[in-house]
Amino acid sequence: MLRTIRATQYVTPLREGGSLPAIIEADDLGLYVVKFRGAGQGPLALVAELVAGEIGRALGLDIPELVFAQVDPALGRNEPDQEIRDLLRASAGLNLALDYLPGSSMFDPAAGDKADPRIASLAVWFDAFTLNVDRTARNANLLNWHRQLYFIDHGAALYFHHNWPDADRLAESPFADVRHHILLPWASGLDEAAAHAASRLNAEVLTNILAQVPDEWLQSAHASPTEARAAYLDLLIRRLNASPIFTQEAIRARAHLI
Q: Which amino acid is at 92?
A: A
- Condensed to tens digits (0 to 9), the pLDDT of residues 202-253 reads 999 999 999 999 999 997 778 899 999 999 999 999 999 999 999 999 999 9
Q: Provide the phi-psi class of 112: left if phi over 0, else alpha when psi is between -120 and 50, else beta.
A: left
Q: What percent of the chain has pLDDT over 70?
A: 98
**How much is the average pLDDT of 126-130?**
98
DSSP at 12: E
Choose among 170, 175, 141, 190: nearest CA to 236.
170
- Condensed to tens digits (0 to 9), the pLDDT of residues 45-54 reads 999 999 999 9
In this predicted structure, the answer to whether residue 76 has a pLDDT above a threshold of 90 is: no
Q: What are phi and psi of 97, to 5 degrees?
A: -140, 155
Q: What is the pLDDT of residue 16?
A: 62
Choose among 18, 149, 24: nearest CA to 96.
24
DSSP E strands in the chain: the ranges are 3-13, 22-26, 31-35, 66-71, 93-99, 105-106, 142-145, 148-151
Element (H, E) at 223: none
Question: 215 with 225: CB under 8 angstroms?
Answer: yes
| Pairwise CA distance, residues 23 & 13, whole Å | 6
pLDDT band at 18 (very low <50, low <70, confident <90, very high): low
Mean pLDDT score across all residues of the chain: 94
| Pairwise CA distance, residues 87 & 13, whole Å | 11
Element (H, E) at 72: none
- Condensed to tens digits (0 to 9), the pLDDT of residues 82-106 reads 888 889 999 999 999 999 999 999 9
| Pairwise CA distance, residues 231 & 177, whole Å | 24
pLDDT band at 20 (very low <50, low <70, confident <90, very high): confident
Give start and end residues of each alpha helix (H) in 1-148: 43-59, 82-90, 117-129
- Condensed to tens digits (0 to 9), the pLDDT of residues 146-183 reads 999 999 999 999 999 999 999 999 999 999 999 999 99
Q: What is the pLDDT of residue 68?
A: 98
| Pairwise CA distance, residues 184 & 191, whole Å | 13
What is the three-class DSSP state of 8? strand
Specify burial of residue 138 (Cβ count, 10 A radius: 0-12, 13-18, 19+).
exposed
Q: Which residues contact 108 (CB under 8 A, 6 or more apart)?
A: 140
